[in-house]
Amino acid sequence: AQRVTQPEKLLSVFKGAPVELKCNYSYSGSPELFWYVQYSRQRLQLLLRHISRESIKGFTADLNKGETSFHLKKPFAQEEDSAMYYCALFSGGSNYKLTFGKGTLLTVNP
């Protein structure tokens, strides 16, 4: 069975500091991984996906198959980055599903 683990429930950093949100996964196939974000009073929305290898709002995430990780990083955090972040894994085949982790609440202090 597939699983997504986000070990930190809460993460607090100061503005301008680097930030890393951890995500580990368990999946027998080739993973398709995503980061979703929910800002205060807004809908859950896609931040980035590993298949497009893009950088959004300064965030990047690299898939490490050896460590089964997909950590989200940003070199200099901004106050507007404060939000709930969810890592998610997509599986297709005979049962399409998107499995989310429990989320990490990031707070960027001034």
Partner 1 sequence: DAGVTQSPTHLIKTRGQQVTLRCSPISGHKSVSWYQQVLGQGPQFIFQYYEKEERGRGNFPDRFSARQFPNYSSELNVNALLLGDSALYLCASSPSGGAADTQYFGPGTRLTVL
Nearest-angstrom CA–CA distance, 48 and 61:
8
- Which letter does DSSP use for residue 68 in this model? T
Query: Does 53 contact partner 1 by CB under 8 A?
Result: no
Nearest-angstrom CA–CA distance, 11 and 14:
10
Question: Which of the ranges 10-18, 54-62, 71-79, 88-96 carries the binding residues for partner 1, by CB under 8 A?
Answer: 88-96
Query: Does 17 contact partner 1 by CB under 8 A?
Result: no
Query: How far apart, in Å, are the Cα atoms of 73 and each of 41, 48, 91?
Result: 23, 11, 24
Query: Does 45 contact partner 1 by CB under 8 A?
Result: yes
In the complex, what is the shortest distance from the CB of residue 96 to partner 1, in angstroms, rounded to a whole number? Answer: 4
Residues that bind partner 1 (CB under 8 A): 4, 6, 32, 43-46, 49, 51, 86, 88, 90, 92, 95-103
